[in-house]
């Protein structure tokens, strides 16, 4: 994570520093907006992974990563979100085995995410997780699909 680090989440920063991080990321998104395409703009505009629960992840074909997450809360409702990343690779995590992050265990949740552009021109979607994991996906395009869920789907 570049902005929403573990230290930021744990409260290691002063209130002023914490607000500085939020302001810096907002400025980053403003500057990035004209370059977002191929679904990356959807990640920024309408995907909120906070408190999301990973339900499944697969590598359906070479260069594709699919992540299925239960998102939402009692106020806005729940839905299953599927992110299908194309021309993708896992970063900041073991490339061969996503399961070592233990994101499907009881109590594990997605906390914060950030979107950036990598040096090779692809996008990066980085995610900070509870209790202690972090991962990212570098990708050329992402397809976002949604399906209704209910509070009973929470673990």
What is the domain range of residue 148?
Answer: 37-153
- Tell me the pTM: 0.92
17 located within any domain = no
Q: Distance of alpha carbon 35 from its chain centroid, rounded?
A: 19
Q: Quote the number of domains for the chain.
A: 1
Q: Please tell me the distance from the alpha carbon of residue 89 to that of residue 65, in angstroms, as a whole number.
A: 7
19 located within any domain = no
15 located within any domain = no
What's the pLDDT at 96?
Answer: 59
DSSP E strand stretches across 74-133: 77-86, 89-91, 109-117, 123-130
Alpha helix (H) residue ranges in 6-136: 6-10, 15-32, 40-46
27 located within any domain = no
59 located within any domain = yes
What's the pLDDT at 94?
Answer: 66
Tokens 């979100």 — which residue? Answer: 81
What's the pLDDT at 110?
Answer: 97
Low-confidence ranges of the chain (pLDDT < 70): 94-97
What's the pLDDT at 118?
Answer: 97
């Amino acid at each position: 994570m570049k902005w929403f680090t573990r230290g930021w989440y744990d409260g290691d920063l002063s209130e002023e520093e914490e607000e500085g991080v939020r302001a810096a990321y907002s400025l980053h998104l403003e500057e990035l907006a004209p370059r977002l395409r191929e679904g990356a703009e959807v990640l920024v505009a309408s995907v909120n992974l906070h408190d999301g629960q990973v339900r499944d992840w697969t590598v359906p074909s070479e260069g594709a990563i699919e992540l299925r997450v239960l998102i939402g809360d009692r106020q806005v409702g729940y839905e299953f979100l599927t992110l299908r990343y194309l021309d993708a690779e896992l970063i900041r995590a073991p490339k061969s085995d996503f399961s070592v992050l233990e994101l499907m265990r009881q109590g594990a949740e997605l906390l914060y995410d950030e979107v950036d552009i990598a040096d090779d021109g692809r996008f990066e979607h980085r995610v900070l997780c509870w209790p202690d994991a972090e991962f990212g996906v570098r990708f050329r395009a992402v397809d976002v699909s949604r399906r209704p869920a209910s509070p009973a789907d929470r673990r």
